[in-house]
A = this chain, B = another copy of it.
Amino acid sequence: MKKNAENKTLADQAADQMIRYIQEQGYVPGDRLPTEADLSKLLGVGRNTVREAVRVLASRNIVSVRQGSGTFLSEKQGLADDPFGFSFVEDRERLTRELMQTRVIVEPPIAALAAQNAEPEEIRRLEEILLEIEALIEAREDYSDKDTQFHAQIASCTHNSVVSRLVPVISSGVAVFAQEVPSEEYKQTLRSHRAIYNAIRGRKAVEAQQAMYLHLLFNESRYLEEMGDA
């Protein structure tokens, strides 16, 4: 199970071969890959090695295996489920503070870039998510999944795939926290999401950046206050 180039397991080598094969064939996410028997012939390795290689690629979210229907190119495109190993961090409070600090650094300039680069279709999708968030907030329901989607959609408006991969990782880590908004803060939460959306729709990069700062800093200060009280 060593990982350096000189000392890869057979399965790792076969996995690399499979990646090259997938790229050469121009498969897109959702496409079905050849059967184990066909891959064994195509790559010139045993079926056990193919099976092990498929497991490696599945654990890296490059392919997904659906029992009974085959192996498919994954929609996750190789983005790991927990790429930074957050599930393995013990001090959850410290991690939450660090994630919030990282979001304050990263997300405001991303909102500016989104305002500059977003396509009309992407802005429409952002509005749909905003309306769902507003409905959940009005109904006093947990909107954390939708909130993660809102920030992910802003990231994809930048048309920078690195940013699109990064934002969900740092924003879903603190989502647990969105379920406990006290009543008196609903208004501010509604207002700050809408302000970000309005700035992006209006192509106002500076205002999008500032609205995102306000949103994240407000959340952060609320969290730190709560922790101080606890």
Q: Give the interface centre of A62, A87, A102 by most chain B CB atoms within 10 Å.
A: A102
Asked whether A58 is an interface residue with its Cβ less than 8 Å from the other chain, the reply is: yes
Chain B residue contacts of A99, Cβ below 8 A: 162
Copies of this protein in the assembly total: 2
Nearest residue (CB) in B for A89 is B161
Tell me if A85 and B98 are in contact (CB < 8 A): no
Chain B residue contacts of A94, Cβ below 8 A: 161
Tell me if B101 and A160 are in contact (CB < 8 A): yes
Chain B residue contacts of A204, Cβ below 8 A: none
User: Is chain A's interface secondary structure helix, strand, loop, or mixed overall?
Assistant: helix
Of A72-80, A128-136, A139-147, the one contacting chain B is A72-80
16 pairs, A vs B, C-beta closer than 8 Å: A23-B90, A56-B59, A59-B60, A76-B85, A78-B82, A78-B88, A80-B83, A83-B83, A84-B166, A95-B161, A98-B162, A98-B163, A101-B160, A101-B163, A102-B160, A105-B109
Closest 7 CB pairs of A and B: A78-B85, A83-B83, A78-B88, A84-B165, A102-B162, A98-B162, A80-B80
